[in-house]
Each structure stands twice: as C-alpha cells, then as structure tokens.
Structure 1
Amino acid sequence: MKKINLLYLFFFQLLISQAFSQVADSYYLPQNVTYDSKIPTPQKFLGYQVGEQHVTPYETVTYMKELARLSNRFKVETYAKTFENRELLLVTVTSPENHAQLDQIKTEHQKLINPAQSSSLDVQKMPIVVWMGYSVHGNEASGTNSNLMSAYYLAAAQGASVDSLLNEAVILIDPVINADGGNRFATWVNINRSTNLVSDINSREFSETWPGGRSNHYWFDMNRDWLYQQMPESKGRLAKFYDWRPNILTDHHEMGSASSFFFQPGIPARTHPLTPKKNIELTVKFGKYQAIGLDKIGSAYYTQENYDDFYYGKGSTLPDVNGSIGILFEQASSRGHLQETANGLLSFPFTVRNQVTATFSTLRAAREMRVELLEHMRNFYKESSTDAVKGYVFGGGNDAIKTWEMVNMLKRNQIEVYHLAKDESLDGIAFNKEKAFVVPMNQPQHRLIKSMFEKRTKFEDSLFYDISAWSLQYCMNVPTAETKTGVSLGEKVDKNDFPKGKVYGKSQYAYLFEWNSYYAPRAAYELLKKGYNLKVAVEPLSAIVEGQERTFGYGTIQIFGNGTDPSALLQTLAERDGIDFYATQTGLTPQGIDLGSEKFRKIRLPKILMLGGTGVQSTDAGEIWHLLDQRINIPLTIADIETANRTSLEKYTHIVLAGGNYNNLSDEKIKRFVQSGGVLVAMTDAVEWVSAKKIANISIKEKPDNNGSGEKRPYNQQEQYNGALETAGTIFETKIDPTHPLCFGYKQDKLALFKDNNIFMEDTKNPYNTPLIFTSNPLLAGYVHPKNEKLIKNSPAAITLNVGAGRVIALSENPNFRAFWYGTNKLFLNTLFFGNIIGGGRFGGEEE
C-alpha cells in the first residue's frame, strides 16, 4: 500500500511539474482579437514557450529586433551597452501613421514642460507616451519574460481596439534593463533546472551563488541609480526618458515568494512631500485598472503597504517629480521554475502571467486616462516655484573635478545650470565667477532641484524603504549656498568641458603635485606602476616654481626625477586627470620641509585584496571594485573568504573588508597579516568583526532597542517602533583633521558623511588616531532616531591603529556609497596610498 501511494505521489508530482513547465499562448494573451500569422510567437522564435525556461537577454534583444523587422508598428534602437558589452534596447511601438511623424509627436510632447508653449496644445488630439521597464533587478525575471508576450501582442494583434491603442499611444518598451545581471540569473536557473521540475525550496536552483543576479556587472542595485546616473545603463536610459518625457512609467519587479502581487500607491505617509497630491490621486485611479485585470484572472494582490514613494532615485519615483506617474509592480517570485511557498506551489508561468496582465491593464488605463495624464503633465510644469529659495550657487573649493561632475549630474536631469555672472559671497562662502555655477529655481525642474539640494530633517513617517537624504552638495563635498534674493546669471552651461590640469616648468630633479584632484590617486598609481619614486609630505612646504614661491599643503606628492624629465608623461596625466604639476629645480625650499626631509614619506604601490563571497555585502564590495577599476585604474584582486583562508596573504599590501559578515574568515590569518606589516581596511559592520575578534582595540557601542521600560504597546505597532530605530540613509557632519594622512587632500575642518547603519564606535584614549569625529550636533539631512543621534554625537567615524608592524583602519561608514558619494571617496583611497605611513615612529601614534 505504501509503495502504491509513493508511486501515485511520484506520478502526481510528474503531472504537476509538466503542467507548470509549459502553457498555451492563451494562458497569457487576450483571445478577443486575431493574430497576424507573419509575426512569430515567442515560442516559435525561441523554440520554447515563455515560462518553460528563463529567457536570456540576448534572446530577448534578438526577438525584439525580429519584431521590428517584421512589423511596421515596431522600431528598436540601442540606448546603451553594459559593462559586459550587452545591448540595451528601447523599443518604440505605435501605429505606422505615428511612426511616420514620430519626431513631430516628440517635439509637440516636449512642449508640455514649457508653460510658454503648453497652453496652446490640444491634448485631446495628442498621443500619450507610456514607458514600460522590465526587471531592473536581474533575478526578478518574470518582468523580462513577460514582455515577450506583451510585445508579441502589440506586434501581431489585429482589431479595432488594438488600432485605437496604437493610434492614441506611443509605447516605449525597455525590455532588459539589467542585461548583465539578467544573464547571470537566467544561466543559473536554466542550468539547475530539472526536466521534472523540483519545487523543494532547498533545491540548488533557488540558491544563486554570490553575488547573485540582482545587480549589474559591478554589483550595483541599478534601481537606486535613476537620479545621479553613475552607471552607463542608467545614463543611456535616462537620456531617452528625458527625450520622451513619458506620462506613465511602469517598473516591473519581484518580491518574496510568500507574497502575492503589489501595485502602487505605496504607504501614503511615506510619499515625498514634493510629489503633488494630484499624482497620488492619479496613481490610485490607475490602480483600479490593475485590480480589474487581476480580478479577472483570479490573482491575489495588495496596495498601500510595504513600499513607498520617497527616494527620487528609484524607477517608480523619479517620474513623480517629472510630471509623470511612476508605478511599481512587485510580483511574488518563483525564483526558478516552480517553488513551494506558504501559499502553495508558485510556478514561473503564473508569475509571468500576472506581469503580462499588469502590462495590459497599464495600456488600458493609459488609453482611457490619456487626456487626464497629458493635462497633469502640462499643469505640473505650469506651477512655478513658490519656494523662498531662489537658487543655489556652488563651486570652488580645492577640486574642480567634483564641481564638473556636479554640473554633469544636474544636466543629466535636464536642469538648467548657469555660470556665475560676478563674484558673490553667500553664507560666508566666497564664490569666484570663474569657478562657480548657479541653478535658479525659476525653471521647469524646480521640484527636482529642490529635492536634490534640500536638507530635510522633518518627516511625517519615520520608516523608509530606502534612504532619507541625498543632498547633492554633501554627496560631492562642493561649497554650496542658497540664495533667497537671487543672483545675476551668466551664460547658460551648454558644454561642460573637463577641467584639465597643466605642467608648470620642466625639471630633471623633482615635480610636486597636490592631492586635491579627485583623480590624483589615478595619476599616482600610474607613476608608481611606471617605476617613479613618489613620496608624500606630512608637513607643509613652499617651493620655487617658474621663479615664484608657491605653498604646498599636507599630502603634497613629490615625484623624484632621478636625472630624467617626465614632463611628457605628466602633461598627459595633467590633461587626463585634472592635475597641476609643478617643476622644482632644487631640494631646498624657502619654507617648511625640504624635499629630502624624512617628513616626505615613501608611497608604496598598493597591491589590494578585497574579500567577497557569501556573507559579504555585494553592493558595498561592488562600489569598491567599480571605483578602483573604472575611475582610478587600480587592479583589485577579489577572492572569496574560503579562498583567502587557504591562500598566502603576504604578497598583498592591503586587505579590504567591505560591509558584511566575516564569521567564516580566519581571524588568526588576518592578525598575522597585520602584525607583519599589512594594512587592514574595515568598513561598516566589518568593524564589528574586527572588534569581536580583537584584531585591533576597537570598541562598539551597544545598539539601542525600542522595547521601552516595561510599557505595553499595541501588537500592530512593532514595525513602526523597531523600524524607526534603523538609520536607513542619513547625512551627518564630522570634524576632520586635514593634517592626518587619512584626510590628505581635504582643506576644510568639516566633512559630511553618509550613514546607513547603526554601528557606533567608542572613542579611543589616543588623541591622534581619530581623524574623523561626528560633531556634537551632527544631523545635516535625513532622519535619525533620537537614541541613535545620542550615540553618534562626538563618536569616531574613523579610527586608525598601529598593530604590530601593520595598521588597522576602521571606518564606521561606507565612503563609496552608490558611486555618487564623490565627496568621501578620497577617504577610502587614502587608506590605500597612505595607510602604511599612519602612526608609528616619530610621526605620531603609539603602537597598540
């Protein structure tokens, strides 16, 4: 009897898996239309049905190109290529008549953002522009797979309703937003798929290897890159976004397998205050179409929970501050092909069908709400700024590169930037008209400008799905002031030229350059790699350059010529890296240390090992990899923890621990590395591991809880109380010691740091090893719980310790956050170039 039952169960599971592995086209597509037989279905083109296995980015791109070849409704263009050289397509779908006048339609649509032109537009006759983006997270694959069926429908469906839709809408499909991550994930689940589908959650199919397919090549979460656009995928996509200004943008995601289907609006109290109430009303109305579509196929869903519309750097929120309606879809993920969940078996085809249904509901809503959405965009841009701030002035400081990139960030968001017409003094900052810029609030993008510069510290809700602050001036560490009276504008910035450096004089003896430029580490590494002897000044000096005395500060780099003149190479580096090089003919200086002084410390070529693998925060590690590989041109060895445990570490000068869990790392091996002269750089929660393993004498403050003092609270308020204690992304002020090697290149006494953790270090008794300390009133922008603010006040943000012959550098924050925190990258890079000269000997610090 038992054998019969087992046999029955086996055949039942076999039937179930086969039923879930392939479905008919009718499972996904409306049957109230006919389909053009000349257009191949996805199954005919791919050789397998959608949902039977995971489509690769290459297959998706190839199918879209085939549809464009066969259908006069389709046009494809490549808007970017990924780091792994994969194409990213924008597919434009509309009627042949609209295609014939597409440039005119786009020109007319762009007038909606110009109040001087928009009033004369007849929106009754204008097509709506709909952008549909799929799977910015590569392992949230139901989105990308679903658009194969949606695209087929738009290419092949015949009938009056389809014709009407195509006449009244320009549909922009972004079919594979994250091609590199999507390829990793599709490969993983396809190679681990069984013919007889396995739904056991312990199956290897559901456990991607680190770092998984969510992120792009450098492990960035690209759904956080829409505003400042540091990745090539985002730069290309947003150029098209602003080129078209869609009225609706849908963002198709996945969430935990035990959930159902979410569509916006999110939690009302967590919508950014700069988003107009009309946007929320339209989002609610839009959601009713989604409910009708999902009701029809019997799918569960929810809204106004979990997710929010606060951070404007996400795909579903940036449209809201651009006169569009951004809509987030979250589908419970099968993560493979068939998975057991708390709600029963969840099949991949089922997840795809929900996304297809959401797409069709979007198109139905777009058509029926067309005039209302076009009018919303027109009215959005008719509203002029009523803010007391009339503009923002920025620039100057000691690094023109960061100012240059700040202008780029603004212009990428279609924000008008002007040169400063005359020298100004605002908020105690002197702005030179040759180096400063103005962003007036009197322009169409005034809401977005406000969101990028404001220093908000008051919030309706204390929980955030993402970060609570992203003030651009703090991200870039560029002097910035607001003006309430306005300033005179110079010429509008159309071309933003890179600020090249110069070589002053020629010498076979030595050259000097300061550590100010963002790309100074790139030049230093190239010189070291080519065999030049570089030293860094730990005291100021002056030198005679072209007959004039010039002063040089802490962190000045000396290039010793050894009887040869490297001026040709330096000229190349000056232009490439924005650095000024100064020739000096003698080692004697008018003031300060001489060039042969022991206070010029030798810089060694960094040979860096960063640990990765299970437990390590891939986004934090990826930010380091990207910084070194793409910006500074330093090769980085990345090894899994298990590999490091069995590998000799003596050939490396530095070991870097990004945020993460290092419980599987051999602490004895790391101790020996440091004791023998290596530099260990630990960031965020890796500092807790360093402290717990007593690798260095660092103490961590106990994290607060929200349990109260015996008081009883309603059960349903646990999330609010506990979530309020999370520091999800806030900007704090630190006191900085510019004489400390960790801070070389900074000329100020205060520096803004971004914090997205609850790690607080205890102060040390050594007066010299805490070069960054949070101030007594540290909050600059964002939300912080009062208990956390108390802990952070006057606590170290960085601790540098001598351990044996080596160094341990602990940073409580991530100075490389999302690649747009240019202002603190130098702190991390300084650990690589100057870490070994910190403390010890006659230049400070006691051995621990």
Structure 2
Amino acid sequence: MKYLLFAIAVFLGIAAQAQSIALEDYLPTEVSYNQDIPKPSEVLGYVPGEWHVTHDKLVQYMTAIAESSDRISIENRGFTYEKRPLLLLTVTSKENQKNISDIRKKHLQIISGEVSESELSSMPVVVNQGFSVHGNEPSGTNAALILAYYLAAAEGPAIDELLENTIILLDPSFNPDGLQRFAYWTNTNRSTNLNPDPQDREFSEIWPGGRTNHYWFDLNRDWLPLQLLESQARVKTFYNWRPNVLTDHHEMGSNSSFFFQPGIPERTNPLTPQLNQDLTEKIGNYHAKALDSIGSLYYSKESFDDFYYGKGSTFPDINGSIGILFEQGSSRGSGQLTDNGLLSFQFTIKNQFTTALSTLKASLELKDEILGLQHQFYRNADKKAGKGAYVFGRKGDPVLANELAKVLHQHQIELYKLDKDQTIDGKAFEANSSYIIPKNQLQHRLVEAMFEERTSFKDSIFYDVSAWSFRHAFDVDFAEVKSINRGDKITEAKLETPSNLKKSPYAYAMRWSDFNSAKVLHKIMKEDIRVKVAKKPFQSQTEEFDYGTIMIPVQNQEKSADEIYSILNSLQKENHVKISALETGLTQGINLGSPNMSHMEMPKIAMLVGDGVRSYDAGEMWHMLDYRFEIPVTKLDTKDFNRASLDSYTHLIIPSSNGNALNSSGKTKLKDWVKNGGSIIAYKSTANWLKNEEMIDFKTKNDSVVAKDISFGERSEFYGAKRIGGAIFNTKVDLSHPLLYGYNNDELAIFRNSNMMLEADKLSFNNPIQYTDSPLLSGYINKENLELIKGTVPFKHNRYGRGHVMVFTDNTNFRAFWLGTFKLFLNSIFFSDQM
C-alpha cells in the first residue's frame, strides 16, 4: 500500500511537472536573450521536454533559427535512406561568418604544417557537437534545440568571447530515420497525464526500435567503415573542418546516472596519444563542475573504452582530435520511475545541454592546448611514419579492391595506382586492381589503425570489437615494400568503364570471382535468360575459367542472340564484371554441354524478421541484398509467419534468433517447407534451435574453465575474458566446394564474435571452411578458446528431406564492410542445390 501511495504521488508529480516546463528551466541566467530569435515553442508549439521532437519539426526549427540569426549558417549535406536531410549548423560570431571560408582553410593548415605553433593562440578552436546517433536516445537531439537557441540568442561578453574564438559545427541529429521512428512511437503512446510506470507501453518499443537507421544499423559503429549514407556525410564534414573536439551525446539504461569520458584507462587504444587522454580528463573536470552546479550524479573512468576507432567518441582520437562520449540515463519516454527516483525527459535534456555548454567552455579555456594537440599529432606522425609503402589488390576482382580504395579515399588517405603488374612476396598484384599506400603521409596513424594485426592487449574486456583489419575485411592481398614505382595518384576512387563485350553466336562465360557477379547473375535471370554453373574448371583457347563460372548459352533462349548480347554488354560495363565470348563448346577440361554444367533457377528469397530475431544481423543482410546487390528479399515478420505462404520462396534466411522466434506451429510449417525443397540459411544462435528441432546435426566444443580463485568482484572480468567479442581468424578452404566458388586463395580470414564452435565432420569434404592450427590473425581470444577453435568449422550443411539446412556460426556480412565473406552468403543462396 505504501508503494502504491508513493507511485500515485510520483505520478501526480510528473504530470504536474510536465505541464510546467519552461525554456528558462534549462537556460543559464547570467546572460540576456535576444527577443528577435524564435524560441523552440514558437515554432514547435511546445517546450522541449514536453514532447519528443520529430525530425521534420527539428528541421523546421533549425531552419527558422538560422534565418533569424547572423551567427548561424545552415546546410544540407545529403539525405538518409528515407530521404531526410542531414543538417549541419555552423555557429560563430558575425565577423567569423563573413570570413568562414578563410578560417577553415587556415585551420586546415595546422594539419599540413603550414601554421607554426606560435600562431595557434590567435586561431579559433573548432568544436563538432553531435547528438543522438541512436534514434531512441533522444535527449541529445532535444537538447540540441535548446543549444541552438542559446547560441543564437544569448547576449553578453561571455557569449561574444566564445563565438569570436570558437567555430561550432552543430549536428542536431546523427540519425534522422531512427529519431523519427522513436519519436513517433513515444509520442503516440504518451498519455496527457504522464504515466511514469516502467511497464507502460510507451517505454517498450516494437521491433526493431528506433536505435538504428533505416537498414537497422548501429550508426555509431560506422565512422571507420563508412558503408552508410549518414556516416559518409558526417565524416566528410569532419575532414572538411578537422574539428579539435567532437562530442557524441548518447543515453544508457534508465537506472544509470550520467557518464562522461575518459573511459577505463587500460582499455585505450595504444595508438591514441597520452596527451589526448590527459586533455579529455581536463575537459571532464568542466563537466563535473557543471553537473555539480545542477545537482546531477555522474561518473567517469569506470566503464566504456576508447579502443575501437569506428565510434564517434574514438574516431577523432586517431585523427589528432578529441572525441568525447556522453551517456545519460534514459527516460525512454516522457519520464519513468527508476532506482534513482523519478527520471523525467526534461532532466535528461538538461544534463545533455549542460555538458554541451561545459564542452564549449572547456574548449575555449583550453584552446591553446587543444590546438597544440592537433599540431603535435601531425608533426609526430611525420616523424614516425617511416619509409616504404603498403600494396593491396585483388587479382580477378578489381571492384573489391576499389571498394576498399573508396573507403581510404574518403578518409583522405593518400593512394596511388600500381604502375604495372607485379609479384610481391609470391602474390600477384595486377595494375588495374592494385593500389599503393605510402607510409610517409599525414594519415599514417590512421592507416596503421586500419590495417594493423594486434594480438597483445593490456586488458581482456572490450566494449566493442578487438580487431577490424581492413586487409582481412576486404579479403585483399596485402604486402609491405621498402620502395615501389607509383602510378597515378588517386583523386577519385573509380574504375574505368570496360570496353564492349565481344559478340558470340554460341555462349558467354562470366567469372564468379568478380564482386558484382551475383548482382549481374540475378539481373540475367530476371531477363528469363537460362544459365548454368560450372562445377569444374575449364579452358577456352585464350582463357581459364574456375569453379563457379556462369555459362550463358545463346541458342534455345527466349531472347534473340542480339538481345542477349545487348543485355550482357550493358551489365558487364555497368558492374565491372568480366564476361567472355565463347566460340565453341569444345573446351579443355569439361565441355560446355557437360553434366558438370549445372542448370540454375532464380532464387526467391525471404528473411525472418521481428520479435526474437536480432535486428542488427537482419539489417546487414537486408542492406546487402537490397541496397548493394539489388536482389529483392521479402521480410516475413515472426508474428505473421504462421499465416504466410512459403510456397513461392526457394530460400529463407534466419538471422541470429532465439528459440521463441517461431512457435511450435511455425516450426512445423518450416520443417514441411524444407522437406519439400526449401533451403534455410541460418546464423549464430538460430543453429541451436534448428538442432533442437532435429533439422541439422552438429557437435560443439565448450570450454571447461573453472572460476578458481576468482572473487565476487572479479566475476565480470572472468566472464568477459571468455567472450570472443570480435576477432579475426584464419581458415583453410576447399575451393571446389560450391560455398567457395569465386575465391582463388586456399585461405580466408573470417570475422567472428560468438563462442559457438562446431566440430568438424569426419569426412573432410564436408568441411569447406575449417579453422587452421594457428588461427588467430588479429584480436583478443583467451588461451582456452584459442585451443578449442583450432580445427573447428564456421559452417555446416545437411539435407533435410528434399531441402537444405545451412548454418553459419557468425555473420558473414558483419557491419556491411566485411566484404571478403559476402560471397559465402551469396553462394549459399545461388549454389545451395550444388552442395
């Protein structure tokens, strides 16, 4: 009864509080405010904190305030997948705005070394303030409304000094699509009299939630890979300005307080300079003082880390800047009861706004030191860069190597083409698909971070992955050389358009090693052109064709020879795939009419999504098929599965999911469909419930480590050290197996972030991929797991009735940038019938 009375009292309290929010509750009182600047409520119709701002309303207000203030300029840097603008506000003094282009150019001279250390004190500091990269962590974006108003309207000597000496790049929403999804949810479930009960529907989003972008990606992991539109826009801004400080405003669990960096010192990437961490701590003292002044609880150095450079708070650290993570305990709606009492949305906004101001204050007062870090970082990079170069390429796949070159070019890494075909360390590098990265360049540290292989660490626990080497992610050949002749410097990473295809009256062959071969094959099939796949190599008079080559006969097709030629010629030009004209079926090896030329049917693909399915994995597969390869995939929601017809689908992808994703009726339906010829491609935890349903059989290896002499306080470290959080391992592969069609190296680097270890089959030909006896290439794994993983397999396949069940222990499409194993996934679709 006491709790009930307390809850009622709190309920009435939050309802009253929600009705009395005023803009003045947020703002500093020591300055006056220009009445000509519109307040948020004058545009939105409410004070921030009363409702969750939707992205359209955010755009409306930011546009209005930019029009009313000579301190602010606004630009749209592009659009999200759902066509929402990616806004950026540049905020500084009126005089600075007049000379903003010259100021930017002068600032960039710090990087190039054209500015002396003595000149730094006369230059403004550049601060990039970014909010809510996770859409359902909305206090940041809502605080950005108040920050924009404050910077435009505040008057007095303090704000004048700030704006004269600071360029503020205000990014009010890192994730517009996710923000819109979450704001819609919480606003439509908000009561007029606010209800703080944590069990209320307002605080329980439907799948997949608003955290991610349109394709269900965690945008805060893409600062380094740059595979997504939002990331490409914000990183372009970063390099356009090279800000000295970049803030990343997040939220965490509702029962938490407020966190600001530094993170756990032992978990800082060793490539990050100590001065960076020292200044981060100095800036943190400003946050502490500011939060003390409003009575907010906080902590620092006790969780999170600065290791993976693909996050907003760590990416700046390898670029001579300072990244700062803020984590606010989330109200996840209008306000709810927590262990710390009533947590209102208004309170979370105030904390974010307060630390946004303390960041600006710290940046101004520590300006010379912060600018000095940037200056020193690039001078030291020059000294430590060393001589020589790295060479990378992919024989037989210029597109894949070019995709990596695109990423490097966006990071302003200096690149050159190889001047001629060369063999280095026994690896063949072709001039048309190989690139040179000189070591002696400004981005040397970033190059090292992107390509290093690290297996030694101070700590065994990581907030994110412990390895991300791009040489392995893109499965390119890689070599280090002392000197090499360079071709042209890369000013734009693109491939030359191939010449016209030679016309044949007989047949064409498309090599499967090309990155876009699956995209082209699907388009060919969509044109109702019959194709076959070569299950064995063959040779024409001029060329060799490997396993998986796609053969397109010209005769006995619904389309004429001219139509087929026109389609193939256009496709090979647009997608940079190698298609060859064949004049005779009398080839060496197998002939074109051989039984080993197997007929192919166009796949019709569905994917299970919804409650019980991991949205990250599903989104990465959806993005890959839909956006990158233009292959349609039907998303079947778990709640609708029992009444959906599977008859038209050949393949069902089941991302990592729990055993409750489908009920017993759904599982029975799934079994019947596979027995009748359907193919399942399953990932990670889905394998376990498929095994329980006796649809696939495998044995696993599990560690037997006992927690001996481990104290209660050390238990988290004990379990954390056993987890494979994200590392890279080497495998040996069977190039004759359909799963490996298109690969030309008998070793393949695999990324994994699961502890599922499958025992190899006794029949070697059933193990197309198998971990080597020395598998660790980069990242952390404890000794026990390292021994266990040797000789295990990351893939299993068996027949079930007339159909196929295939399982992968890990996501082959990890974060859309593990391009080197994309083909495993595609092969499991196109060549399942060949297994």
Superposition TM-score tier, normalisation by shorter sequence: over 0.9
C-alpha spacing 1:344/1:560, structure 2 compared with 1 (3 Å): same
- The equivalences for 1:605-644 within 5 A come to 605-644=602-641
State the partner residue of 2:584: 586
State the partner residue of 2:67: 69
- The equivalences for 1:533-572 within 5 A come to 533-543=530-540, 548-562=541-555, 564-565=560-561, 566-572=564-570
AA at the equivalent of 2:714: Q
Between stretches 679-688 and 458-467, larger displacement belongs to 679-688
Task: Give how far 1:507 is off.
Answer: 2.2
Q: 1:29 aligns with which of 20, 27, 30?
A: 27
Between stretches 501-510 and 214-223, larger displacement belongs to 501-510
- The equivalences for 1:103-252 within 5 A come to 103-115=101-113, 117-119=114-116, 122-252=119-249
Partner Cα distance (1:90, 1:105) in 2? 17
Partner Cα distance (1:366, 1:6) in 2? 47
State the partner residue of 2:647: 650
CA deviations on 1:686-727 (whole Å, 9 max, x unpaired) are 11222222111222333x36533xx33222111111101111
The DSSP-based 3-state class of the residue aligned with 2:794 is strand
Partner Cα distance (2:658, 2:6) in 1? 45
Task: Give how far 1:21 is off.
Answer: 4.8
Task: Give how far 1:20 is off.
Answer: 3.5
Q: Are the equivalent residues in 2 in contact too, given 1:136–1:223 (CA < 8 A)?
A: yes
1:736 aligns with 2:729: no
1:397 aligns with 2:390: no
AA at the equivalent of 2:477: P
State the partner residue of 2:418: 420
Task: Give how far 1:10 is off.
Answer: 4.9
C-alpha spacing 1:388/1:784, structure 2 compared with 1 (3 Å): farther
Q: 1:312 aligns with which of 309, 314, 323?
A: 309
Task: Give how far 1:733 is off.
Answer: 0.5
Q: Are the equivalent residues in 2 in contact too, given 1:311–1:317 (CA < 8 A)?
A: yes
1:718 aligns with 2:710: no
Q: Are the equivalent residues in 2 in contact too, given 1:540–1:553 (CA < 8 A)?
A: yes
Task: Give how far 1:123 is off.
Answer: 1.0
Task: Give how far 1:421 is off.
Answer: 4.1
Q: 1:497 aligns with which of 494, 498, 512?
A: 494
Q: Are the equivalent residues in 1 in contact too, given 2:38–2:68 (CA < 8 A)?
A: no
Runs of 5+ unmatched residues, structure 1: 839-848
- The equivalences for 1:387-536 within 5 A come to 390-421=388-419, 423-483=421-481, 485-536=482-533
1:773 aligns with 2:766: no
The DSSP-based 3-state class of the residue aligned with 2:543 is strand
Task: Give how far 1:585 is off.
Answer: 3.1
TM-score, normalised via structure 2 length: 0.96
Partner Cα distance (1:58, 1:508) in 2? 56
C-alpha spacing 1:434/1:504, structure 2 compared with 1 (3 Å): same
State the partner residue of 2:321: 324
State the partner residue of 2:52: 54
State the partner residue of 1:707: 706
Q: 1:339 aligns with which of 332, 336, 340?
A: 336
Task: Give how far 1:424 is off.
Answer: 4.5
Q: Are the equivalent residues in 2 in contact too, given 1:500–1:574 (CA < 8 A)?
A: no
CA deviations on 1:371-392 (whole Å, 9 max, x unpaired) are 1111110111001253667421
AA at the equivalent of 2:147: S
Q: Are the equivalent residues in 1 in contact too, given 2:759–2:791 (CA < 8 A)?
A: no
Q: Are the equivalent residues in 1 in contact too, given 2:737–2:768 (CA < 8 A)?
A: yes
Q: 2:817 aligns with which of 817, 820, 825?
A: 820
Partner Cα distance (1:833, 1:519) in 2? 14
Partner Cα distance (1:286, 1:279) in 2? 11
Q: Are the equivalent residues in 1 in contact too, given 2:455–2:778 (CA < 8 A)?
A: yes
CA deviations on 1:785-841 (whole Å, 9 max, x unpaired) are 112112211111112212221111111121100000111000001111111221xxx
Task: Give how far 1:120 is off.
Answer: 6.7
Partner Cα distance (1:603, 1:705) in 2? 46
1:832 aligns with 2:829: yes
The count of corresponding residues between Structure 1 and Structure 2 is 826
1:667 aligns with 2:667: yes
Partner Cα distance (2:229, 2:678) in 1? 35
Q: Are the equivalent residues in 1 in contact too, given 2:427–2:477 (CA < 8 A)?
A: yes
Task: Give how far 1:518 is off.
Answer: 0.8
C-alpha spacing 1:515/1:194, structure 2 compared with 1 (3 Å): same
State the partner residue of 1:698: 698
Q: Are the equivalent residues in 2 in contact too, given 1:22–1:49 (CA < 8 A)?
A: no
Q: Are the equivalent residues in 2 in contact too, given 1:705–1:722 (CA < 8 A)?
A: no
Task: Give how far 1:670 is off.
Answer: 1.9
Partner Cα distance (1:131, 1:455) in 2? 31
Partner Cα distance (1:754, 1:5) in 2? 50
AA at the equivalent of 1:552: F
Q: Are the equivalent residues in 2 in contact too, given 1:770–1:800 (CA < 8 A)?
A: no
AA at the equivalent of 2:672: R
The DSSP-based 3-state class of the residue aligned with 1:681 is strand
C-alpha spacing 1:187/1:614, structure 2 compared with 1 (3 Å): same
AA at the equivalent of 1:13: F
CA deviations on 1:215-251 (whole Å, 9 max, x unpaired) are 0000000000001210011111111110000000000
Partner Cα distance (1:685, 1:37) in 2? 58
1:101 aligns with 2:99: yes
C-alpha spacing 1:120/1:30, structure 2 compared with 1 (3 Å): closer
Task: Give how far 1:562 is off.
Answer: 3.0
Q: Are the equivalent residues in 1 in contact too, given 2:611–2:661 (CA < 8 A)?
A: no
State the partner residue of 1:843: none
CA RMSD, aligned part only? 1.8
Q: Are the equivalent residues in 2 in contact too, given 1:688–1:700 (CA < 8 A)?
A: no
State the partner residue of 2:88: 90
The DSSP-based 3-state class of the residue aligned with 1:223 is helix
Between stretches 117-126 and 599-608, larger displacement belongs to 117-126
Partner Cα distance (2:235, 2:352) in 1? 23
Between stretches 620-629 and 35-44, larger displacement belongs to 35-44
AA at the equivalent of 1:672: D
Partner Cα distance (2:701, 2:6) in 1? 59
Task: Give how far 1:584 is off.
Answer: 2.0
AA at the equivalent of 1:76: I
C-alpha spacing 1:16/1:433, structure 2 compared with 1 (3 Å): closer
The DSSP-based 3-state class of the residue aligned with 1:439 is strand
Task: Give how far 1:317 is off.
Answer: 0.4
C-alpha spacing 1:259/1:617, structure 2 compared with 1 (3 Å): same
Q: 2:748 aligns with which of 748, 751, 756?
A: 751
Task: Give how far 1:63 is off.
Answer: 0.7
Q: Are the equivalent residues in 2 in contact too, given 1:67–1:155 (CA < 8 A)?
A: yes
C-alpha spacing 1:358/1:672, structure 2 compared with 1 (3 Å): same
AA at the equivalent of 1:532: I
CA deviations on 1:273-327 (whole Å, 9 max, x unpaired) are 0000000100010000000000000000000011000000000001001110000
AA at the equivalent of 2:30: N
Between stretches 464-473 and 569-578, larger displacement belongs to 569-578
Task: Give how far 1:766 is off.
Answer: 3.2
Q: Are the equivalent residues in 2 in contact too, given 1:385–1:446 (CA < 8 A)?
A: no
Partner Cα distance (2:7, 2:240) in 1? 57
AA at the equivalent of 2:674: V
C-alpha spacing 1:178/1:5, structure 2 compared with 1 (3 Å): closer
Partner Cα distance (1:202, 1:6) in 2? 15
